[in-house]
Structures are given as structure tokens and as C-alpha cells.
Amino acid sequence: MEHVINRASLWNAGISADLAAVWLTLRLASVVTLLLLLVATPLAWWLARTASRCKPAIGAIVALPIVLPPSVLGFYLLLGMGPAGPLGRLCALLNLAPLPFTFNGLVLASVVYSLPFTVQPLQNAFEAIGERPLEAAATLGANAWDRFWSVAVPLARPGFVSGALLGFAHTVGEFGVVLMIGGNIPDRTRVVSVQLYDHVEAMEYTQAHWLAGGMLAFSFVVLFALYTLYPPSIRGRC
């Protein structure tokens, strides 16, 4: 009887840990998606409009997380946030808490890691607008700010939706970067992917199935919504 009670207690504790990891992951993805839109919008607009020779280099830097192993990116981010890194020194100078193994550190690393998944849909959407709508607005007296908010942003709405969905989903699914930067601290940095890894490592396959199945269903729903709302043909034009 005592053995059954102990197993039930462990199961309940595991469920509580899973729910805490899910909540932390959703909170992280929400904050990161908001920051991604704030950072990616002007960057994508510049990449779509500029004729600068620096454009290929900047575009390549933004796209690096797509091809770079997450552990490599996480390693260099960890060095940059560490006491001897530029971000670490800046935090010390401003009397701020160190970034590694904190939620704020996860947010910063996740923004860098998911940036291309928001920038590229937005850049494609801005480039697809062309010059004619903006020139027409200019002839009606709209300044650059008005042309951006009244013409470019509404026409690029599919890019905003695609970028937000992909950035959110990519943040939810990340593992290597968050493990390097955040470690495995319950209720602080232990996200769903790390919690799943812990279950597999402990051979708790039932709990692992629940988390893995949930992430699989979530990923399908996100992509299904994206392809339903904006088919590839529409996203290609806008």
C-alpha cells in the first residue's frame, strides 16, 4: 500500500513539474515573440529596402541560427553573457543581475535563436509590396512614417502572422540553446524540451510521451493554421 502511495505521489509531482515547464515555456515564447516583432520589423524593412553593400553580410548574420548548431550558438552566447563577456560586463557596470541561468538570459538567447524565423517572412512580405503602392501614397502627401504604417504594414500582414507563429513555435521547441544558457532549474529555466529530456533520461516514458505528443500536436496546429490562413501562394506574394 505504501509503495502505491509513493508511486502516486511521484506521479503527481511529475505532473506538477510538467505543468510548470509548460507554463514557463508559454511565458517565454510569448515574451520572445513580442520582442521578435519589435526587433525584426525594422530589420526586415531595412533588408527589404536597402541597396547597401552590407545587406548580404547582415542577412547572413541574421540567418546564422538556421544552419548553426544550437550548442555552438548557445556556447558563444554563454561566453558573451558571462562575467568576462561584453554583456556580462555591461550587466556588472549597470549593477544588473547576471544573465546566465536566468529567465532573462533565456529570453535574450531565444530572441537571437528565433530571429531569422521572424525576419525572413517579414522581409519577403515587404519586398513583395513593391514600390508602386508606396509611391502612390507619397503622391497623396503621406510621409515615410505614414507610408510604412498605413501602406506597408497592412499589405505585409501575412508576413507578420507567419513571423509571429514561426517565432513562437520555434521558441517553444528549442532545446540546445536554452540548456546551454538556462541549465535545468525548476520553475526558472526548465522548459518543456528540457523536462522531456529529463523524463527520457530517467526512463519515464509515459510522462515523456505526454510531453512529446503535446509538442507534436502543438507544432501541427501551428503549421496547419499557417497554411490554412495563408497558403504558400499568398505568402509568396505578400
> What pLDDT score does 12 carry?
53
Asked if 87 and 97 count as a contact pair (C-beta separation under 8 A), the reply is: no
Which range, of 5-9, 87-91, 193-197, averages the lowest pLDDT? 5-9
Q: 176: how many CB neighbours lie within 10 A of its CB?
A: 16
Q: Which residues contact 78 (CB under 8 A, 6 or more apart)?
A: 100, 180, 181
The backbone region for 30, taken as left when phi is positive above 0, alpha when psi lies in -120 to 50, beta otherwise, is: alpha
The total number of structural domains in the chain stands at 1
> Distance (Å, rounded) from C-alpha 182 to C-alpha 101?
4
**Residue-wise pLDDT tens digits, 55-112:** 999 999 999 999 999 989 999 999 999 888 899 899 989 888 889 999 999 999 999 9
Output the domain CATH number for residue 171. Answer: 1.10.3720.10
What is the structure's pLDDT at 35?
97
Q: Range of 207's domain?
A: 2-237
Q: Is the pLDDT of residue 10 over 60?
A: no
4 confidence band (pLDDT: 50, 70, 90): very low
Gyration radius of the chain over CA positions: 21
Q: What are the tens digits of pLDDT across the range 146-182? A: 889 988 999 999 899 999 999 999 999 899 899 899 8
Which is higher by pLDDT, 17 or 46?
46
- Report how far residue 1's alpha carbon sits from residue 53's, in angstroms, rounded to the nearest whole number: 73
SS3 content of the chain, % helix, strand, coil (to 5): 80, 0, 20
